[in-house]
C-alpha cells in the first residue's frame, strides 16, 4: 500500500479549499449562482467601478475565478490556473484598496489572500494527488508558469492602468460638489 505524503495531502487540501472559494466567486459573476449578479449584472457593476468595456471585463473576471478555481481544485494546468486566478484577484484588490486592508471594512484582505494563495500553488505545483500528476505534468512545466504569470501580470497591468484612466476622467467630468455655493 502506498504511503501518503503529508506535503501532497496538504497541497490537495489547499487546492480544494482555495479552488472551491474561487469557483464560487466566479460562478456568482458568470451564472448568478450563490446569490451573484450573473454576467449582465456583474458587467453593470464593473462598468460603475471603471472596468470598461464592462462585459468582457466581467467575463474575464468570472473565468479567471471560476476557471482558475476549478483547475486549481483539480490540479490541472496548475501554473496557468494560479496565474489566471491571481490576475483576477489583482483587479479585485484594486476595487477594495480604497477601503484599506481588513475585509470587515470592505478592504482588500480577502482578494489579496486568494490571489497570493493561487500564485503560490501555481508556483509550487499541485502535488501528487492531482490531474497534472496523472497526465505526467504535461501542463505543469516551468515554461508554462513563466508564460502564464507573465501574461497575467501584463494583462492585469493593462486593465488596471485603463481603469485608473477611466476613473480619473470620470472624476474630472464630475461637477464640483465641494464648493458649497449655490449656482445661479
pLDDT in tens, 120-166: 999 999 999 999 999 999 999 999 999 999 999 999 999 999 999 99
Q: Does residue 2 fall inside a structural domain?
A: no
Q: Does residue 1 have a pLDDT over 70?
A: no
Q: Does residue 58 fall inside a structural domain?
A: yes
Q: Does residue 9 fall inside a structural domain?
A: no
Q: Does residue 109 fall inside a structural domain?
A: yes
Handedness of CA 40, 80, 23, 109 (dihedral sign): negative
HSE-up (13 A, CA, CB side) for residue 56: 4
Q: How many domains does the chain have?
A: 1
- C-alpha torsion angle, residues 30, 31, 35, 37 (rounded to 10): 60
- Section 65-75 average pLDDT: 98
**In whole angstroms, what is the distance from residue 13 CA to residue 10 CA?**
5
**In whole angstroms, what is the distance from residue 116 CA to residue 28 CA?**
21
Return the pLDDT at 178. Answer: 52
Q: Does residue 153 fall inside a structural domain?
A: yes
Percentage of residues of the chain with pLDDT beyond 70: 94
Return the pLDDT at 125. Answer: 96
Q: Does residue 181 fall inside a structural domain?
A: no
Name the residue range of residue 145's domain: 16-170
Q: Does residue 4 fall inside a structural domain?
A: no
- Better-predicted residue by pLDDT, 182 or 72: 72
CA 106 to each of CA 72, 96, 101, 109: distance values in angstroms, whole numbers, following the listed order: 26, 6, 8, 9
Q: Does residue 184 fall inside a structural domain?
A: no
pLDDT digits 0-9 by tens, 84-128: 999 999 999 999 999 999 999 999 999 999 999 999 999 999 999
Mean pLDDT, the chain, integer: 93
Return the pLDDT at 175. Answer: 79
Amino acid at each position: 500500500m502506498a504511503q501518503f505524503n503529508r506535503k501532497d495531502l496538504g497541497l490537495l487540501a489547499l487546492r480544494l479549499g482555495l479552488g472551491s472559494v474561487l469557483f464560487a466567486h466566479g460562478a456568482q459573476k458568470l451564472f448568478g449562482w450563490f446569490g451573484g449578479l450573473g454576467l449582465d449584472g456583474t458587467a453593470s457593476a464593473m462598468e460603475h467601478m471603471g472596468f470598461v468595456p464592462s462585459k468582457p471585463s466581467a467575463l474575464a473576471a468570472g473565468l479567471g475565478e471560476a476557471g482558475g478555481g476549478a483547475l486549481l481544485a483539480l490540479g490541472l494546468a496548475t501554473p496557468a490556473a494560479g496565474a489566471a486566478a491571481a490576475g483576477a484577484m489583482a483587479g479585485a484588490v484594486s476595487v477594495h484598496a480604497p477601503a484599506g486592508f481588513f475585509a470587515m471594512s470592505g478592504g482588500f484582505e480577502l482578494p489579496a489572500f486568494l490571489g497570493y494563495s493561487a500564485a503560490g500553488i501555481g508556483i509550487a505545483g499541485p502535488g501528487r494527488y492531482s490531474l497534472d500528476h496523472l497526465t505526467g505534468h504535461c501542463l505543469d512545466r516551468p515554461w508554462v508558469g513563466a508564460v502564464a504569470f507573465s501574461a497575467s501580470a501584463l494583462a492585469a497591468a493593462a486593465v488596471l492602468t485603463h481603469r485608473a484612466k477611466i476613473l480619473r476622467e470620470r472624476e474630472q467630468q464630475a461637477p464640483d460638489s465641494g464648493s458649497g455655493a449655490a449656482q445661479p
